[in-house]
Amino acid sequence: MFKKILIANRGEIACRVAATARRMGIKTVAVYSDADAQAKHVQVCDEAVHIGGSAPKDSYLRWERILQAAKDTGAQAVHPGYGFLSENEEFAKACAAAGLVFIGPPAAAILAMGLKAQSKQLMEKAGVPLVPGYHAADQDPALLQREADSMGYPVLIKASAGGGGKGMRIVEATADFADALASCKREAINSFGDDAVLVEKYVQRPRHIEIQVFGDTHGNCVYLFERDCSVQRRHQKVLEEAPAPGMTEALRKQMGEAAVAAAKAVNYVGAGTVEFIVEQTGYDQPESMKFYFMEMNTRLQVEHPVTEAITGLDLVEWQLRVASGEPLPLKQEQLRIHGHAIEARICAENPDNNFLPVTGSLQVYRKPVCSSFERGDVRVDDGVREGDSISPFYDSMVAKLIVHGDTRAQALARLDEALSQTRIVGLTTNVQFLRHIIRTDSFATAKLDTALIQREEKALFAQEPLGLALTAAAVVANTLHHERTLKDGDPFSSRDGWRAYGVATRKFGFVFHGASYAAVLTYAHDASLQLCVADADGDVSGTLAYREDGDALHISFAGQHTRVQVFHHREGHEDVAHVFAPQGATRITVVDALAHAGEVQEAGGRLTAPMPGKVVSFSVKAGDIVKAGQPLAVMEAMKMEHTIAAPTDGEVLELLFAPGDQVAEGEELLKLKV
C-alpha cells in the first residue's frame, strides 16, 4: 500500500479522499491555487503545495506543476478526484512516465471512453444498446443539421469530449439547430479543448440510471448496482438515489452485466460509471423500460456516496487498494443492497432565477447533525467551512448531503429533516428548492424522469413557506430577545417597554418579496406583547410570545407556533434577516427609515451582469432596437454559458465591454434606452 499520495483536485472531493487515506494510514499532499490558499482541503491534508493562479488553467489543469509537487513531496501516487484532469489520458500517461501511480483507469481506457462518438462505436461492437444518432467524425454544420432533420426533433447535441451537462443542448426545431450547435461548440472548446459534438434522438420521458463498476488488474470486474440521477437542471444532477426506484431484479442484472461488458471492452481498472438513458412508457411499468448506453465516466462520481451507503463499502479505499495492485475485495455474488440512500447537491445558485450561480461568503454555515461514516444515516461531504467564500473560478457546489434509511420513505423523511437543519447565510442556495422537490408527488411516488423539475414547476419555484406575518413576528421576537440578552442592568437603557405611565409602541418596517410592510408592537400593561402586522390581505394581530429554545426561539403569534432561528446579514446598506423554521426558510429586509432619507432611485437604461464572469459575445450593436426577452449577450461563469436577455423593449445605446472581457457582478454591460 502507498505511504503518501498527492490529491490533484480541490474542494469536497479532495477532503473526501484525504479522509479515507487518513483512516488507512496514508499521508496526503494537497495542491492549491491562489484562490484556495486558505481552503479546507489544504488544511485537512498533511502537506500542501501552491501550484498557480486562481483560474483552473493556471493551476489545477497545469499537470507539470502537479507532477513536480508530487516529486518534491515524495508522493508515490496521484488521485485525480473528479473534474479537472481526472479523465485526461495525457495526464495519466505523464504520471506513469514520472514513476507515479495514477489512481484511476489506464490511459487507453480513458481515451476509448472519453470521446463520446468513438465510445458509442465501441459499444455498438460490444452489443450494448445505443440511442439512434450521429457519432461520426465529420463535423460539417450542414451535415449535422441534415442528420438532425432526418432523425426528427427533438434532438440532443452533446460535446463529444464533454460531461457535467456542459456543451449540451436540446433542440426542438430545425430553425433552432444552428444557434444551439454554435453555443455547444463554444462551451465545449472552453471546457474541454475540443468542439466536436454528436447528435442523438432525444428520448421522451427518459430516466437517467447509471451503474457503478469496478475493475482490478487481475481481470476481475463487478457492478455495485445502480443509481437513479433523473432529477436534473441544465442537464446537471440535483438529486441522486440508490437503488433506482421501480428497478426489477431482472433489469438490474441485465444493466449491470451490460455495464461490466462495457468496462471489460476497454480493459477497465478502478472505479467507473456506465451511464444509461432509460426509456419508459409509463411510470408504473418497469417491465417496459428499455435502456441505451450514453457514456462512461472513467473516474469516481460526485454521487458515489449513495452507493457506499447501500453497500456499506468505501469506494475510495477500493480505489487505493486496486491501484496498489490488490484484487477487488469482494466478488459479484458477495455484494448486497442494504436499504435506500439519497444525495442532494447543495449549490450556490438561485433556482428562481434560472439556477444562475452566485458567489459570496458563507457567513453562516451550519450543518445537520451527522452520524458516523460507517452508519451513514446522515452524512455531509464538503470542502468549505463557515466564513469561506464561493468564488467564480470553480463550480457552485457547496456540499453534498447524503441520507440512508431502511426504506425510501425513511430516507426521504431523513433528507427533509436534514435539509431543514441546514443553515446557510451570505449567499443564495438551493436548499429550500431541494425540500420542495422531495415533497412533490412526482418525487415522493417515484414518478421520475429528467423533466420532473419542469413538470412540477408550480410547486417548486417562488414558494414562500412562512408568510409575512410569521416571518415578521420571528424577526421582532428575535430583536426583543437580543436586546434583553445585551442589556447592561440599567433599567433606563433597557428597551423592555416599561413606562411610568401610558402605553409604549414600536414600529418595525420591512420589505418582503419586493413590497413594503409595517409591524407595530405594543407593550401592554399586563406585560404582554401585542403585535399587528399590516399584511397585503389585511392586518394580522395577536399576542406575541417567545421563549429561548436552545440556540433558537420558540414563538407563538396569531394562532401559529414554531421554532425559529434568525440570522442578520448586511447586503450593501440593507439589513436582511434570514429566518429558518421547520416549515422552511425565508428572508426579509428590515428597514431603518432614517437610513434611506434622501436616496434617489436610478431609472431605466442599465443592464448589469447578474454574476461575475467573462463576456463571450454580444448579439446586438449600438443603434439596434430590441424586444423584451431578446438575447443580448452571452456570459461564461462557473464553467457554464448564460444568456443575458433584454428586460424590456428599448434601443441599444452603447456596448460597454468587448468579448473576452472579465466583468464583476453588477457591472453595467450595455446602455439601453427604454
Instruction: State the SS3 of 547-607.
Output: EEECCEEEEEECCEEEEEEEEEEEECCEEEEEEEECCEEEEEEEECHHHHCCCCCCCCCEE
Q: 590, 616 in Cβ contact below 8 A?
A: no
Q: Residue 164 pLDDT > 80, yes or no?
A: no
Classify each residue of 315-332 as buried b or exposed e, where b means 16 or more C-beta atoms within 10 Å of its C-beta.
bbebbbbbbeeeebebee
Radius of gyration of the chain (CA): 27
Question: Rounded to 5 degrees, what are φ and ψ at 14?
Answer: -65, -40
Q: Are 31 and 17 in contact (CB under 8 A)?
A: no
The yes-or-no verdict on residue 357 having pLDDT over 70 is yes
Nearest to 271 by CA among 255, 281, 283, 259: 259
Helical residues (DSSP H) of 430-554, grouped into ranges? 431-439, 441-444, 452-455, 457-460, 468-486
> Residue 135's pLDDT is what?
83
- Burial (CB < 10 A; 0-12, 13-18, 19+), residue 660, is exposed
Is the confidence at residue 510, as pLDDT, over 80?
yes
Q: What is the pLDDT of residue 605?
A: 54
Please answer whether residues 655 and 670 qualify as being in contact, where contact means their C-beta atoms are separated by less than 8 angstroms: yes
Instruction: State pLDDT tens for residues 525-565.
Output: 778 899 999 877 789 999 999 999 988 999 999 999 999 99
With beta carbons less than 8 A apart as the criterion, state whether 116 and 160 touch. Answer: yes
Using an 8 Å Cβ cutoff, are 14 and 6 in contact? no
Highest mean pLDDT among 434-438, 604-608, 625-629: 434-438
Kindly tell me if the per-residue pLDDT of 602 is higher than 50.
Answer: no
Sequence-distant (6+) residues with CB within 8 A of 56 are 33, 84, 393, 394
The answer to whether 79 touches 6, Cβ cutoff 8 Å, is yes
The region of weakest confidence among 6-20, 47-61, 297-311, 649-663 is: 649-663
* b/e code 454-471 from CB counts within 10 Å (16+ = b): eebeeebeebebbbbbbb
Look at residue 375 in the predicted model and tell me its pLDDT.
54
**Among 417-421, 585-589, 615-619, where is mean pLDDT lowest?**
615-619
Q: Give the C-alpha separation, 291 to 211, whole Å.
A: 12
Q: What is the pLDDT of residue 131?
A: 85
Beta-carbon contacts of 396 under 8 Å, excluding residues fewer than 6 positions away, are 347, 348, 349, 357, 358, 390, 638
Q: How far apart are CA 179 and CA 176, in angstroms?
A: 6
Q: How confident is the model at residue 630 (pLDDT cuts 50, 70, 90)?
A: confident
Q: How far is the C-alpha of 391 from the C-alpha of 132, rounded, in Å? A: 40
pLDDT confidence tier of residue 598, bands split at 50, 70 and 90: very low
Residue 234: phi and psi, rounded to 5, are 55, 35
Helices (runs of H) and strands (runs of E) counted in the chain? 17, 41
What Å distances lie between residue 601 and 347, 598, 604, CA to CA?
A: 32, 10, 10
> Mean pLDDT over residues 465-490, rounded?
84
Is the pLDDT assigned to residue 499 strictly greater than 70? no
Catalytic residue flag (residue 16): no
- pLDDT over threshold 70, residue 273: yes
Is residue 365 scored above 90 in pLDDT? yes
Averaged pLDDT, 446-460: 94
Percent of the chain with pLDDT over 90: 70
Give the model's pLDDT for residue 593: 46
Strand ranges inside 202-334, DSSP E = 206-215, 221-228, 232-233, 236-237, 239-242, 270-279, 290-297
- Confidence class for position 284, pLDDT limits 50, 70, 90: confident
**What's the confidence (pLDDT) of residue 486?**
57
CB count, 10 Å around CB of 254?
12
Higher pLDDT, 60 or 194: 60
Neighbours of 170 (CB within 10 A): 14
Q: What domains can you pick out in the chain, each with its CATH number?
A: 4-103 (3.40.50.20), 132-201 (3.30.1490.20), 206-460 (3.30.470.20), 468-596 (3.30.700), 606-673 (2.40.50.100)
C-alpha cell at 379: 452524512
Output the pLDDT for position 573: 77
Statement: residue 496 has pLDDT above 60:
no
Annotated active-site residue in 62, 299, 345, 423: 299
